[in-house]
Amino acid sequence: MIEEKLEQARLRSAKRRMQIGVGLLATIILCGLLVFGLSSYDFSEKNKVPAVVPEQEILSENDREKIRNEFKDKLQQYENELEPRLQLVNVEIWKRDLFFEITELKKSMMLAFSNGDYPVALDSLQLLTDKTVEILVEAEQEYKENLKKAASFLAEDLYDEAHLHIEKALLVNPQSPEALEVQQKIEKLPYILPLLNGAQVARAENDLEKEYTFLQQILEIAPERDAVRERMLALAELIKAQKFDAHISSGFAAVKKGQAKEARLHYLEAKKIDPNRSELSVLVNQLLTLEKKLRAQQAIKQAEQAVRRDDWQQVKIYFAKAAKDAPDNKTVTEGLKRADHVLGILARLSQYINDPYRLRYAEVRKEAEHILVQAKSASGYSFSIKRQSEQLAELIVKVNRLIPVAVISDNKTYVSVRSVGKVGVISQKNIQLKPGNYTFEGARKGFKSKLVQVFIPYDQSDFKVRVICDEPI
């Protein structure tokens, strides 16, 4: 509503200026004619000219009342609509001369009205309205111009210039939300400018993370800076790519140096950054190959330590572990084969040593002697084989030697040794038997037969056994 009235007032003001111009021109012409007429006028006849009656006296009382009421309505409209806007634009400070002119115009207008000169008062009100509209239009132009310049300088981060123009804009329109918002942004510049300079230096030095930090601080102060936000997003991608490339490069370098643990750390960090990059598969393949190699080397080392301890069970375990990662490694395959061979010989030697009395039998003794031949070649890299081979050889001798056995009886009992032979009816007789288990049997007419179980140890030099049937039937 008010804007439409202002536009109408602007048109009236333009029309009024045109009318004033035409009026001034007409006045000049009339004055010229008047001067010319007066120079040829005969004043002796002046009493013949009727007196001019003032215009206000010509108006009827009804017309005067209409003009008076029209003045009051327009004055109220002026005071309700235009005058408050005039006060808002700080015309007293901004345009002091115009303020003085309007003030004086209003005073004379009110004086004319109080004197009852309503037509003059109405014309003065119209002039006051036109002047006010002109001031408001000029104020609007001044406001927009300065606001535009302030925004432009703000965009260029020029604090002094932006501050100057926003102050001018606010001087004209101090309540403008748009200007206040721009002012708020401008007042952030003293805090932002050092950060912007720091970001520019960091960018020149290609220090992406440092630049990102500066921009992050700027965005905390001025979150409305979309350009900063866009640069931060771009930087985030660049930093991400830079970190990824650094981890990938360090990972490959670590693989080359044989540092599997460090290479895996770089691989995992790179994977966190971007799990879809193709470089990851290349690095992880090299890493897995290196880890297999190192595990195999570690297992071989442990196996060799077990060999030095003569712990062939562990030797086999470690070589089997190494074979999972390096099945074609000659050291591993030969190590496994040797471990199986040594463990096999040790197992066979243990069998004979743990049951030495089987060695009395020729067939068993022959097998044991064959094992001793195999053990001889393996004893060079296993002290256990050498020691057990010597123990078995000694057992073979001891178990197969004849031990003197004194058989004691009552010279009435018939004595024999099952599966060996007869001893006869004796009071005492010395025979020779190999170490082991034997059953002596005694028989006598009228008496119960008697069985005596004996065990002759291989480490005993002689042995005695008594067989007498002394229990009647």
- 341 and 379 in a single domain? The answer is yes
| Burial zone of 129 (CB within 10 Å; 0-12 exposed, 13-18 middle, 19+ buried) | buried
DSSP 51: P
- 322 and 420 in a single domain? The answer is no
- Show the tokens assigned to 413: 């009992």
What is the spatial distance between Cα 277 and Cα 359, in angstroms, rounded to a whole number? 71
pLDDT value for 306? 95
- 458 and 314 in a single domain? The answer is no
User: Which residue range(s) make up the domain with 346?
Assistant: 301-400
Domain-embedded: residue 27 = yes
pLDDT value for 94? 76
Domain-embedded: residue 246 = no
* CATH code (residue 437): 2.60.40.1120
Tokens 């010509």 found at: 58
Mean pLDDT (the chain, rounded) = 86
Q: Which of 157, 135, 114 lies closest to 13, judged by CA?
A: 135
Domain-embedded: residue 241 = no
Helix (H) or strand (E) holding 429: strand 428-433
- Total domains in the chain come to 3
Q: What is the pLDDT of residues 226-279, one digit of tens each?
A: 999 999 999 999 999 999 999 999 999 999 999 999 999 999 999 999 999 999
Q: Which of 159, 168, 163, 155 lies closest to 183, judged by CA?
A: 163
Domain-embedded: residue 163 = no
Domain-embedded: residue 272 = no
Domain boundary residue among 369, 400, 431?
Answer: 400
- 409 and 395 in a single domain? The answer is no
Cβ contact 312:382 at 8 Å:
yes
pLDDT at 380 > cutoff 50:
yes
pLDDT value for 173? 86
Domain boundary residue among 400, 421, 442?
Answer: 400
- 311 and 454 in a single domain? The answer is no
Domain-embedded: residue 194 = no
- 310 and 339 in a single domain? The answer is yes
pLDDT at 212 > cutoff 90:
yes
Tokens 């056995």 found at: 405
- 72 and 139 in a single domain? The answer is yes
- 383 and 337 in a single domain? The answer is yes
* Widest CA span in the chain: 217
Q: What is the pLDDT of residues 80-125, one digit of tens each?
A: 888 888 777 777 777 788 888 888 888 998 998 899 888 998 899 8
- 30 and 145 in a single domain? The answer is yes
Domain-embedded: residue 96 = yes
pLDDT value for 313? 94
- 384 and 428 in a single domain? The answer is no
pLDDT value for 262? 95
Which pLDDT band, with edges at 50, 70 and 90, does 444 fall under? very high
Lowest mean pLDDT among 38-52, 126-140, 233-247: 38-52
What is the spatial distance between Cα 305 and Cα 300, in angstroms, rounded to a whole number? 9
- 75 and 17 in a single domain? The answer is yes
Domain-embedded: residue 134 = yes
pLDDT value for 43? 37
What is the spatial distance between Cα 260 and Cα 17, in angstroms, rounded to a whole number? 92
- 421 and 380 in a single domain? The answer is no
DSSP 412: S
Q: What is the pLDDT of residues 286-312, one digit of tens each?
A: 999 999 999 999 999 999 999 999 999
